[in-house]
A and B are shown apart, each in its own frame.
Chain A
Amino acid sequence: MAEKTIDNNQNVENSIAKREETREPESYITPVTDIYEEDKGLYMMVDLPGVDQDGLKLSVEEGVLTIEGHVKRSDNKEYLIREFEPSNYYRQFELSEAVDQEGINAELKNGVLNIFLPRAKAVQPRTIEVKFS
């Protein structure tokens, strides 16, 4: 499974547009992902801590699986130590044709998104009838 990243030019436009709208530009990070393959299909586990049901967007378009997670920023607290910042997540994967795109299902639990990508049923051999005239 190949990974697809956002087109550079497109990204520049987005970031400029966003900078005008908001006070601070939105930052995106690539979430860490495990992918393993079983007989039935592919299983993915994506760490998205801080993302809730409303902030998660999962889509398949033209064979590309897009995972997008938005995190609500909490009010400004006085931090003594800050090792992480709530940031949004974005990652794309190109799906192979062996994946049945209709059958994909996903579950978000404890900040981990579990996605199941079932294997497409093998293309049935087809005999073509020939008409005689």
Chain B
Amino acid sequence: MSVWNFLKEMDQLQSQLGELSRFGVRHGLPRTCFLPGVSARHFPMINIASDDQKIVIEALAPGLDTDSLKVQALNNRVTISGEKAKVNVDLEKFHRNERSTGKFSRTIELTTQIDPEKVTAEYSKGILTVTLPKAEKAKAHNVAISVK
């Protein structure tokens, strides 16, 4: 996503440490504490769910350019790519800069064959949901048992 910027990373670490001092130890660390550097974060984070008929991928990707968003599906591989728009503001004007921006691409290899023709994708509320129906030959079939 973003280019690694030493000063920015240090700045962020400092503000995270400052935030930490306000929390009691009892409740554990706040969830954004010690985020990896902006350039080192996995993006987007994904959940993969599966049932007999389909595989559903949910990607946590708020604020994407909907035009740049692209989903490509192959037999057992899905690639999600796009761009999170950069704000055209000078760095000096930022009080806080925690969100990362830039281009991303993530490829997911699946263990089952899918039907690339029937893949559907939906982007709403900052979450991208890709539904991948399994290929006919990868679906589970019931076998009739004859009892003698």
Contact = CB atoms under 8 A, between A and B. Distances in A.
A72 to B, nearest CB: 10
Interface of B: 19, 22-24, 26-27, 30-32, 35, 42, 45-51, 55-56, 60-64, 66, 87, 89, 93-99, 123, 125-127
Contact of A32 (B19, B47, B93, B98): B98
A49 B49 contact: no
B104 to A, nearest CB: 14
A32 B45 CA distance: 15
Nearest to B30: A30
A79 B49 contact: yes
A132 interface: no
A11 B28 CA distance: 12
A83 B96 contact: no
A78 B51 contact: yes
A86 B104 CA distance: 22
Contacts of A1: 95
Interface stretch (A16-24, A34-42, A121-129): A34-42
Contacts of A47: 62-63, 99, 126
